[in-house]
Chains A and B, each alone.
Chain A
Amino acid sequence: MERGIKRTAALTHIFNLATIQQKLRAIVRPLGLLGPSGVWLLLLVVLPTLLIAELSFVPGLRPGQAIEGYGLLNYIRILEPTYLRVLQRSATFAMGTTLLCLALGFPVAYWLAIMAPKRWRNLLLVLFILPLWTSSLLRTYAWITLLRPSGVINLVLSSVGLPTQGLMNTHWAVYIGMTYSFLPYMVLILYASLERLDLQLLEAAADLGANPRLAFWRVTVPQTLPGIAAGCLLVFVTSLGDFVVPTLLGGPTSMTLSRLIYNQFLGVARNWGFGSALSMVLILMVSLAIALLLKYGDRNPEIYS
């Protein structure tokens, strides 16, 4: 048919009409599909973010006050050692949680996707994400019952003659609580990625003399890299903004960025300007993580698909 079009002028004319129609459709159809979510995003994400961005440049703005001038004072204040320490703590909590989730989640996802009996797979997966159906507040409360000095863990430890732990109200409790909270996300994403792993490539690697460890690092990991990146991003972003776990399980030195932001908006200071600047920093940190994902996460899309 293509050859026919090339031959006759009349057909070319029709072809042109068709391309215009196609072009129109190419514009209208995505608009129709993306419109609702676009409006949603614009109203509930973009506009509020712009509003926060504006407020962040008003030094010391309190609710009910008129905006009198703009400046960078809020951002300069974040550079004070006290606030940098809070930023650093939040980043450390989030990064530690991400690494722990990856270390614990990868073997589980690997086993689920590759080694577990096929007919049990879906059930096992459901069991693994079952905790997500309950409130995160509830699950964090459960950790208090487990971790406190007279809690379940110590009861078990002391009954078998092992030394007891004193993790409640420490940074370790925060790591445990957050890792527990976000592990299912990591496993889900890694599972999706590992499920599509081309096992023939592993066989080929073995044929070519790679031992299992080498095959894992050179074949399995590169293939699942996009999944690893996506999982890490999701865990990092959610744990960076987590509020419940540090509040309930952390000790007296557990001020995090999200708690600090809360204090600026609903606490005693009610400094919305400073709170907005802190929020912008949080948004920036999340955006950086996403940028890293875009750069490194999708490096080999052809392998992934």
Chain B
Amino acid sequence: MPRRTSRNLFLPSSTSRRRFLQGSAAALAGVGLSNCRRTIGETTETTPTADTVTDSSQASGTLHIYTWADYTDDELAAQFTEATGIDVKIDVYDSNETMLAKMQAGGGANYSILYPSDYMVTEMIDLGMLTELDKSRLVGLDKMREKWKSPVYNSDNTHSVPFSWGTTGLLYNSEVLTTSPTDWNYLWENSDVLSRKMTMLDDVRETMGAVLSSLGYSYNATDPAELEAAYQKLLELKPSLASFKSFGWQDELLSGDLLLSMVYSVEGIPVSLENPAFKYLIPESGSSLWTDTMVIPTSAPNMDAAYEWINFNLQPKISQETVERLFFATPNGEAMTMLSKDLLENENLFPPEELLAKCEGIAPVGDANALYDEYWTKVTSA
């Protein structure tokens, strides 16, 4: 399930996003690719400062992190190095499965911190790949919002620390679409206006989940009859779809060639913040709610530095600053209270509770995975 691939690959920072708005796809992709591997903070040995939450004298050396491109930037790494004296090296991946495959193949022996999403946390715990966290070494975990104190994917946060969360929704051109969408069914009801001017995600679970949700079923349905119904309904919409795209939709949407795209909030909200003509919407009947976490793999070479990193990111001030730079929702309750009013009142970033209650996390569906994949191949091949 590649998630947020587009910003990972092509829109790594707000600077490039702006350049993107000028229509320079080429420059953009170049920036994105050059950012695929970054090495940060190799320079000075700084002495730990008083700001450091825990005693950092025991941790040293280099911390290798494997994460999504959206979650760390040079500034964050520089701050960390300044506070703890630990060098940070960051590699990025574009899907949970890529990360898992690399770790399973033994190619991730350097990494002390990973950022798996909810369902992947469950899977990695089952595979025995995650270290059980020593809560006495963590500072600030109690500041999590209620919903993330004991999440479904990992009760009591025994192996993972929630880092960010977001939703999936519709990003649309409000200048052209006179009636605003409110729910998934808008796509079917307006398929004539939107004909070949809308995209859905190239992500089986998300797109099938959206259709299931529009039918009143669970995003994680496993009943073959429900999946068949969703397949038929998606097939009905297909002639009106421009494509299934997880990345590459931005250029077409901004130029008006697309009017509506199903997107991940972490990609959609920045576009809506920079260009008021574009609005992000979480459909009424609910969409997916995802959480990304920080974990320590059992193979982690630098456990001390890993705890330092988690504690550093748990600091409300750091969390708040990161959110304001990178635009994702934080599960940290105290950080939320420090956010600017604009961001806090952005209902896309922090949707109202009643809407959140309708959203589901993408959960492992076991054997039904094969069925999802079969229907997906059918939809995209015939």
**Chain A residues packing against B (C-beta within 8 Å):** 60, 63-64, 82-83, 85-86, 89, 135, 137-138, 141-142, 144-145, 148-151, 166, 168-169, 247-248, 250-255, 260, 263-271
> What are 11 A-B pairs at a CB distance below 8 A?
A63-B100, A63-B104, A83-B381, A145-B251, A251-B242, A252-B244, A255-B377, A263-B204, A267-B373, A268-B205, A269-B372
Question: A64 to B242, Cβ gap below 8 A?
Answer: no
Question: B26 to A141, Cβ gap below 8 A?
Answer: yes
The answer to whether residues A85 and B127 also contact, given A142-B26, A267-B204 and a CB cut-off of 8 A, is: no
Question: B380 to A145, Cβ gap below 8 A?
Answer: no
Contacts of A250 in B (CB 8 A): 243
Give the most central of B25, B29, B243: most A CB within 10 Å: B243
Question: B370 to A142, Cβ gap below 8 A?
Answer: no
Does B46 make an interface contact (CB < 8 A)?
no
Q: How many residues of B sit at the interface, in one of the four size bands?
A: 35 or more
The answer to whether residues A251 and B373 also contact, given A144-B248, A144-B251, A145-B23 and a CB cut-off of 8 A, is: no
Contacts of B97 in A (CB 8 A): 265-267, 270
Does B376 make an interface contact (CB < 8 A)?
yes
Can you list, as one digit per residue, whether each of B91-109 has a CB less than 8 Å from chain A (1) or not (0)? 0000101101100100000
Question: B374 to A82, Cβ gap below 8 A?
Answer: yes
Does B33 make an interface contact (CB < 8 A)?
yes
Question: A268 to B242, Cβ gap below 8 A?
Answer: no
Shortest Cβ distance from residue A182 to the other chain B in the assembled complex, whole angstroms: 20
Shortest Cβ distance from residue A76 to the other chain B in the assembled complex, whole angstroms: 15
Does B238 make an interface contact (CB < 8 A)?
yes
Extra contacts besides A266-B95, A271-B370 (10): CB < 8 Å: A63-B101, A82-B382, A85-B382, A135-B29, A135-B30, A150-B256, A169-B196, A265-B101, A267-B204, A268-B205
In the complex, A86→B244 CA distance in Å? 16
Question: A148 to B377, Cβ gap below 8 A?
Answer: no
Overall SS of chain A's interface: loop
Q: Which of A60, A64, A148 contacts B255 (CB 8 A)?
A: A148
In the complex, A5→B195 CA distance in Å? 88
Contacts of A263 in B (CB 8 A): 204, 373, 376-377
> Which positions 284-330 of chain B face chain A at CB distance < 8 Å?
none
The answer to whether residues A269 and B370 also contact, given A64-B127, A142-B26 and a CB cut-off of 8 A, is: yes
In the complex, A268→B252 CA distance in Å? 27
Does B70 make an interface contact (CB < 8 A)?
no
Can you list, as one digit per residue, whether each of B1-33 has a CB less than 8 Å from chain A (1) or not (0)? 110000000000000000000010110111001
Contacts of B380 in A (CB 8 A): 252-255
Question: A251 to B243, Cβ gap below 8 A?
Answer: yes
Does B257 make an interface contact (CB < 8 A)?
yes
Contacts of B245 in A (CB 8 A): 248
Question: B104 to A85, Cβ gap below 8 A?
Answer: no
Question: B205 to A137, Cβ gap below 8 A?
Answer: no
In the complex, A85→B377 CA distance in Å? 10
Question: B377 to A137, Cβ gap below 8 A?
Answer: no
**Chain B residues packing against A (C-beta within 8 Å):** 1-2, 23, 25-26, 28-30, 33, 95, 97-98, 100-101, 104, 127, 196, 202, 204-205, 238, 241-245, 248, 251-252, 255-257, 369-370, 372-374, 376-382
In the complex, A265→B105 CA distance in Å? 13
The answer to whether residues A247 and B369 also contact, given A169-B243, A266-B97 and a CB cut-off of 8 A, is: no
Question: A86 to B381, Cβ gap below 8 A?
Answer: yes
Question: A141 to B257, Cβ gap below 8 A?
Answer: no
Contacts of A63 in B (CB 8 A): 100-101, 104
Kindly report which residue of chain B lies nearest to residue A247, judged by CB atoms: B202
In the complex, A83→B29 CA distance in Å? 33
Give the most central of B95, B255, B378, B381: most A CB within 10 Å: B381
Contacts of B242 in A (CB 8 A): 168-169, 251-252
Give the most central of A82, A151, A260: most B CB within 10 Å: A82
Question: B25 to A82, Cβ gap below 8 A?
Answer: no
Question: B251 to A269, Cβ gap below 8 A?
Answer: no
Question: B204 to A168, Cβ gap below 8 A?
Answer: no
Contacts of A86 in B (CB 8 A): 377, 381
Lowest 4 CB-CB distances: which A-B pairs, in order?
Answer: A269-B373, A255-B380, A255-B381, A266-B97
Question: A268 to B373, Cβ gap below 8 A?
Answer: yes
Give the most central of A63, A142, A145, A252: most B CB within 10 Å: A252
Question: A141 to B25, Cβ gap below 8 A?
Answer: yes
Question: A148 to B243, Cβ gap below 8 A?
Answer: no
Question: B255 to A89, Cβ gap below 8 A?
Answer: no
Shortest Cβ distance from residue A189 to the other chain B in the assembled complex, whole angstroms: 28
Shortest Cβ distance from residue A157 to the other chain B in the assembled complex, whole angstroms: 15
Q: Which of B2, B202, B381 contacts A85 (CB 8 A)?
A: B381
